[in-house]
Amino acid sequence: MSTSTPRPPVSRDPAINEMVQIAADAAVPTVWDRYKAQHPQCKFGTQGVCCRLCHMGPCRITPKAKLGICGADADTIAARNLLREIAAGTAAHSDHGRTLVNTLKLVAHGKGGKYRIADSFRLREAAGLFGIDTAERDDLAIAGELADFFMAQFAWSEEANATLKLAPAKRQELWKKLGIEPRGVDSSVVEILHRTHMGVDHDYRHLIMGGLKCSLADGWVGSAIATVVSDILFGTPKPIRSKVNLGVLAADQVNIIVHGHEPTLSEMLAVAAHDEELVAYARSKGAAGINVAGICCTANEVLMRHGLPIAGNFLQQELAILTGAVEMMIIDVQCVMPSLAQVARCFHTKLVSTSEIAASVDAEQITFDVAEGYEHAVRLIRAAIDNFAHRDSGRVNIPQHAMELVAGFSNETIFHMLGGRFRSTFRPLNDAIIDGRIRGVCGIIGCSNPKVMADDGHVRLAEELIKRNVLVLETGCAAIACAKAGLLVPEAAIAKAGETLREVCEAVGIPPILHMGSCVDNSRILLAATNVLLEGGLGEDLSDLPVAGAAPEWMSEKAVAIGHYFVASGIYVVLGHPLYVEGSENVTKLLCEEMEGITGGRFEWEPDPVLAADKILAHIEKKRDALRINVKKERKLFDMKERRELQ
Ligand code: XCC
Ligand code: SF4
């Protein structure tokens, strides 16, 4: 192995920096090398003013050429490009949801192999919510009808999507008034593709409102369905301890990594990894056991339900293979870098692609089938065990960094934890917000991105917010970043929280940063906000709440869709770097200023975590003032007395 010059740090995570050096020494390029090779990045792209929507073009807007060949200006072009990103993000989350609904349907009809209804309570609750009869019916009958109901949410309908009614009534009215209620997930995506086709929708305001509509089909429909069906099939998450970072890979075990987003196959892998015969088979090949760990959101899903360890977030996928200790990486959909095949080629790692819509050149394609899910899992694990013999122990470099974490905070759990054993309720949380011990709530979500010192944006923002007594909810790669930094262990996090937030967390037994799941589980964050609202005392609409959202290191189109459905839901969203719209002053102004007067939410870009925290706090205090809960002590005492009298 040749040794190259020392690499400057690319992350606050030492495991990443160590592996980047190892990659350089082994002359295996990684995402950071390719990022450098792409410099300088195209300015027209970053500004959103490159259009290739028709073949008169491509056109780009410059000071000399202010219009495309068809006459489209920067506003139209930037808005259209943004809309297509929203549509792609919505499609990705929602198609993931559809796959799960299909699994639910197969289970209901006895064709689901070893899959079961894991959470009958959640099934009946969801069915009840959507007017499906549950009395004296067995789970499978209900599941069949619920699956059909959910499936129908994808197609176009005259009615607005039924799952929108999960949102507060006032918000639903506003969507109706603004004409942005989606009427089907697929049709919303199709509509965006249509209206952004050459020569259709040209008014940037009209376009952006269309984008919000599509994003709602993501957050309140496709993603919401993905979350609830995952809970029904695999169980509603409960707090669970596990470990995170590349150090979870075991030098003496067969290491299998699951990577992507859809949890169906990984559920079976999690179960099959305990199969005694397979464990014995692994031992017969000289391994001490079978270690299944995850990357990205598949990781979050199996972490929350099985406590499986997480090997890392988005930017660690290549590094996991570079440890030389991974026998097999099983990929499904989304956030899987095409470079994995290139890295795997340099090691013994077998790359297996399991989704019928996702193939990788040089990866083995074993398309997953629900009815045979368990058998697939067994076959894959066997193949991984067989591959253990090919591991070159001289090339094994597992960074010794692994952190404890607690994850699995579904709404249901928070509800029970807050209310105690006898009366589940969000009341204690609302009271704490009202009397100011908790200033507000912020969701930190999204990816990691080589443009940013990896994990630094997530960790510093989270620390800054809990220090200022803001409760933080996390999902996706943001949650993994904070977990690696030791922030998802209640003790450590509580040590970093402000005094009053700490008191509340200790009294209730929750950490100040709650890991709520995968990217589709941002729907859980929307529902948490809705629950707080329904509990009372904090206004009537989501836009009244002292809450915010942030994506400090985002990169995917899914993150673009998420940002928009938060904004469409009335929430203030701070991005660590701008959307590709800055080539249009009008679109930027609409998204970052005027939108507040339309939906109550808006975007802000702020790369500096401390300044981002300042802005989030300013927003939260503005909302608290409007709610008149920022009042003097006397009033607070009176409130408490009043409450005692009521009891
Ligand atoms: Fe992908 Fe969900 Fe982003 Fe991570 S955070 S890089 S989308 S895995 Ni959603
Ligand atoms: Fe150029 Fe208009 Fe065609 Fe876009 S749609 S490529 S701006 S001519």
Taking the CA of residue 51 as reference, the ligand 2 atom at the shortest distance is 4
Yes or no: say if 576 and 552 are a contact pair by the CB < 8 Å rule: yes
Alpha helices in 485-553 (DSSP H): 490-496, 499-508, 522-535
Pairing state between β 440-444 and 403-407: unpaired
Q: How confident is the model at residue 424 (pLDDT cuts 50, 70, 90)?
A: confident
137, pLDDT greater than 50: yes
Yes or no: say if 108 and 143 are a contact pair by the CB < 8 Å rule: yes
Yes or no: say if 228 and 404 are a contact pair by the CB < 8 Å rule: no
Mean pLDDT of 214-226: 98
182, pLDDT greater than 90: yes
Mean pLDDT of 242-257: 98
Residue minimizing CA distance to atom 8 of ligand 1: 296
- Position 634 scores a pLDDT of 47
Q: Is the CB of 65 under 6 A from ligand 2?
A: no
Taking the CA of residue 71 as reference, the ligand 2 atom at the shortest distance is 2
Nearest ligand to the C-alpha atom of residue 54: 2
More confidently predicted of 543 and 413: 543
Contacts of 313 by beta carbon, 8 Å cutoff, 6+ apart: 295, 296, 447, 448, 455, 476, 477, 480, 481, 484
* Residue 293 backbone zone (phi > 0: left; psi -120 to 50: alpha; other: beta): beta
Residue minimizing CA distance to atom 7 of ligand 2: 68
Distance of CA 447 from the midpoint of ligand 1 (Å): 5
For residue range 291-314, list pLDDT tens digits in order: 999 999 999 999 999 999 999 999
Angle at 351 between CA 483 and CA 404, to 5 degrees: 15
48 phi, psi to nearest 5 deg: 75, 20
Distance of CA 50 from the midpoint of ligand 2 (Å): 9
Q: Is the CB of 296 under 6 A from ligand 1?
A: yes
Q: CA 373, CA 360: separation in Å to the nearest integer?
A: 21
First to last CA, the chain: 73
Distance of CA 436 from the midpoint of ligand 1 (Å): 33
Q: What is the chain's mean pLDDT, rounded?
A: 95
Distance of CA 60 from the midpoint of ligand 2 (Å): 9
Alpha helices in 130-263 (DSSP H): 139-152, 169-178, 185-195, 204-217, 223-234
Mean pLDDT of 545-554: 98
For residue range 23-68, list pLDDT tens digits in order: 999 999 999 999 999 999 999 999 999 999 999 999 999 999 999 9
Yes or no: say if 426 and 415 are a contact pair by the CB < 8 Å rule: yes
For residue range 312-324, list pLDDT tens digits in order: 999 999 999 999 9
Residue minimizing CA distance to atom 1 of ligand 1: 335
2, pLDDT greater than 60: no
Angle at 499 between CA 495 and CA 504, to 5 degrees: 90
Contacts of 82 by beta carbon, 8 Å cutoff, 6+ apart: 48, 208, 211, 560, 579, 580, 581, 587
Yes or no: say if 623 and 612 are a contact pair by the CB < 8 Å rule: no
Distances (CA, A) of 430 to 419, 455, 646: 11, 31, 17
Mean pLDDT of 1-7: 75
Q: How confident is the model at residue 423 (pLDDT cuts 50, 70, 90)?
A: confident
Q: CA 450, CA 315: separation in Å to the nearest integer?
A: 8
Decide: helix, strand or coil at residue 477. helix
* CA 346 from centre of chain: 31
Distance of CA 518 from the midpoint of ligand 1 (Å): 8
Mean pLDDT of 67-77: 98
Token reading at 613: 């925290």
Q: How confident is the model at residue 96 (pLDDT cuts 50, 70, 90)?
A: very high
Q: Is the CB of 129 under 6 A from ligand 2?
A: no
Alpha helices in 136-184 (DSSP H): 139-152, 169-178
Distances (CA, A) of 233 to 123, 147, 410: 9, 12, 15
Taking the CA of residue 300 as reference, the ligand 1 atom at the shortest distance is 2
Mean pLDDT of 100-109: 98
Q: CA 308, CA 304: separation in Å to the nearest integer?
A: 8
Q: Which of 337, 447, 482, 516 has the most ligand 1 atoms within 8 A of CB, as the residue to mutate? A: 447
Q: CA 210, CA 187: separation in Å to the nearest integer?
A: 12
Distances (CA, A) of 565 to 312, 473, 491, 549: 27, 17, 33, 11
**Residue 571: closest CA among 530, 535, 628:** 530
Angle at 244 between CA 241 and CA 248, to 5 degrees: 105
Taking the CA of residue 67 as reference, the ligand 2 atom at the shortest distance is 7
**Is the torsion defined by CA of 268, 274, 275, 279 positive or negative?**
positive
Decide: helix, strand or coil at residue 432. helix
For residue range 354-390, list pLDDT tens digits in order: 999 999 888 999 999 999 999 999 999 999 999 999 9
Edge-to-edge strands, sheet with 310-312: 364-365, 350-353, 328-331, 254-260, 290-295, 310-312, 240-244, 403-407
- Position 425 scores a pLDDT of 86
Distance of CA 56 from the midpoint of ligand 2 (Å): 6
Distance of CA 394 from the midpoint of ligand 2 (Å): 55
Q: Which amino acid is at 392?
A: D
555, pLDDT greater than 80: yes
For residue range 462-514, list pLDDT tens digits in order: 999 999 999 999 999 999 999 999 999 999 889 999 999 999 999 888 999 99
- Position 572 scores a pLDDT of 98
Q: CA 386, CA 487: separation in Å to the nearest integer?
A: 37
Yes or no: say if 552 and 458 are a contact pair by the CB < 8 Å rule: yes
Decide: helix, strand or coil at residue 110. coil
Q: CA 353, CA 356: separation in Å to the nearest integer?
A: 8
